[in-house]
Amino acid sequence: MKSKETTSESELKITLKCFFGFEQTLGEELIELGYDKIEFLNRAVRINGSWEDVYFLNLYIRCAISILVEIEHFFIKSEDDLYKKAAGIYWNEIFSANKTFAIKGAVFSTLFKNTHYPFLVLKDAIVDCFREIQNERPNIDLKKPQVLFDLYIKENEVTISVNTSGLPLFQRGYREEVGEAPLNEVVAASLIRQSGWDRTTTFMDPFCGSGTILIEAAFLATGIPSNIERQHYAFKNLNNYDEKLWNEIYGSAPRIVRSLPCEIIGSDISDEMILKTRRNLRSMSFGRFVKTSVLPFDQVTKTEEKLFILTNPPYGERMETDIPELYDTLGTWMKHSMTNSEAWIISSSEEGLKSIGLKPTKKTKVFNGDLECSFRKFEIYDGSKKAKNEESYSEE
Ligand SMILES: C[S@@+](CC[C@H](N)C(=O)[O-])C[C@H]1O[C@@H](n2cnc3c(N)ncnc32)[C@H](O)[C@@H]1O
């Protein structure tokens, strides 16, 4: 049996979940934030830390989807064992009966015939604990729970954690306006970090849509936390919430800048999209320094000798777009108008990417939601346009 008092602060096991393939990227971000002992897991990384670290990371981390703190880790031999062990946790010390809760997670175990069943067992254990001790019980809210638990079972090994973020961290709080195929904010931040952008070379997104890539690039360049606009964090609903500590962390975060350390430029063929980008930029102190214009990408000209392009062109979700033609023109534009630059393109259109006709120097598989995409790097020098389908590249 374990109560929170028995867990020393710095002993908290903190798991940061990320999207497929971004474990190293998240690890690098943690190192930059001062964390060194990092354990790499599948779609997650783990560190040890304190509640102060949990608050700090919920605000500052850009490449994680959620932050879990382990409550209990144990082994079971049968379905019944799960209830017995979970019922031994003092749930009433973790949260109060007037808060709603839900349980999410994953079960990979032959001990359970039905993978939903362990979630019901854990729910019963939580509710029964409250009933026994206080004669009242918290209600379930599957859509917007105030407290969220994570249950992970791998064969006979069970980990129960509290999800301190609650709503996923890509719900940054800044995006009021979305385009038709918006890039997930955490994916955008992870791609920018993975690309190795030096945060000083002029950054450009010529298919900026509602501006996600531009905004995440500006956050990174200025050091302002991407979650500075976010109000919701599930840790605020736990019994041990230290409001003073959170206010100190949040209050000392940088949020105002009087300039950008480099130019950040976006454009889109659609005036409606540029309006959305401007609206999304409105609440940020760097908003007015991000330059945007309504332009087809092939009319965008170079403002500097060297540009850093990171973009998310259409994948073919609109029937009227001729994808091979658009990507062919993109390759030609990069070669003739963007020489001496570096371009990173994320797209799910294999046909489109081939039509670029340039040799990528790096290629990684990533996901935007459920959509499998390729993230490719092009180093553009004079004469680098190859004949179509003559691709050869290094695979990461
Ligand atoms: C996949 S969306 C980009 C979404 C964006 N990353 C976001 O998070 O909102 C592709 C964008 O390309 C724009 N587009 C399509 N054809 C274009 C062209 N020829 N030149 C510039 N932009 C174009 C569309 O208007 C759309 O906003």
Q: What is the DSSP letter of 339?
A: T
Q: Is 348 in the pocket of ligand 1 (CB under 6 A)?
A: no
Q: Residue 321: pLDDT band by 50, 70, 90 thresholds? A: confident
Which atom of ligand 1 is nearest to 311's Cα? 6
CATH (domain of 52): 3.30.2130.30
Among candidate residues 359, 308, 355, 292, the one with its CA nearest the CA of residue 329: 355
Q: Assign 387 a pLDDT band (cuts: 50, 70, 90).
A: very low
DSSP state letters, 367-393: EETTEEEEEEEEEE-TT-BPPTT----
Range of the domain at 314: 185-226+254-380
Better-predicted residue by pLDDT, 383 or 160:
160
Same structural domain, 215 and 298: yes
Q: What is the pLDDT of residue 388?
A: 38
| Residue 233 lies inside a defined structural domain of this protein | no
Please choose, from the candidates 45, 41, 47, the residue with its C-alpha nearest in 3D space to the C-alpha of residue 13: 47
* Per-residue model confidence (pLDDT) at position 176: 76
Q: What is the pLDDT of residue 395?
A: 38
Does ligand 1 have an atom closer than 6 angstroms to the CB of 201?
no
270 lines ligand 1 (CB under 6 A): yes
376 & 300 share domain: yes
Domain count, the chain: 2
Question: Which pLDDT tens digit goes with each residue over 151-209?
Answer: 999 999 999 999 999 999 999 988 877 777 789 999 999 999 999 999 999 999 999 99
What is the rounded distance in angstroms from the CA atom of residue 105 to the CA atom of residue 161?
9
Indicate whether 200 and 322 sit together in one domain. yes
pLDDT tens figures, 357-381: 999 999 999 998 889 999 999 999 8
212 Cα nearest atom in ligand 1: 8
Whether 92 lines ligand 1, by a CB cut-off of 6 Å, is no
What pTM was estimated for this model as a whole?
0.93
Determine the distance separating the centroid of ligand 1 and the alpha carbon of 298, expressed in angstroms. 13
Question: Is residue 146 a part of any domain in this protein?
Answer: yes
120 & 198 share domain: no
Provide the 3-class DSSP secondary structure of residue 344. strand
Got the DSSP string for 143-185? SS-SEEEEEEEETTEEEEEEESS-S-TT--S------SSPPPH
> Strand pairing partners for 115?
none
294-319 average pLDDT score:
89
Same domain, 215 and 133: no
CB-CB neighbours of 40 under 10 Å = 11
297 within ligand 1 shell (Cβ under 6 A): yes
Same-domain check for residues 58 and 151: yes
Banded pLDDT at 317 (limits 50, 70, 90): low
Amino acid symbol at 186: V
DSSP assignment of 97-130, as one string? TTS-EEEEEEEE-TT-SSTTHHHHHHHHHHHHHH
Mean pLDDT rounded to a whole number for the chain: 92
- 190 lies in the same domain as 84: no
Check if 275 has its Cβ closer than 6 Å to any atom of ligand 1. Answer: no
Q: What pLDDT is attached to residue 6?
A: 37
Given a cut of 50, whether residue 45 has pLDDT beyond it is yes
Looking at the structure, do residues 369 and 291 belong to the same domain, yes or no? yes
Position 396 scores a pLDDT of 40
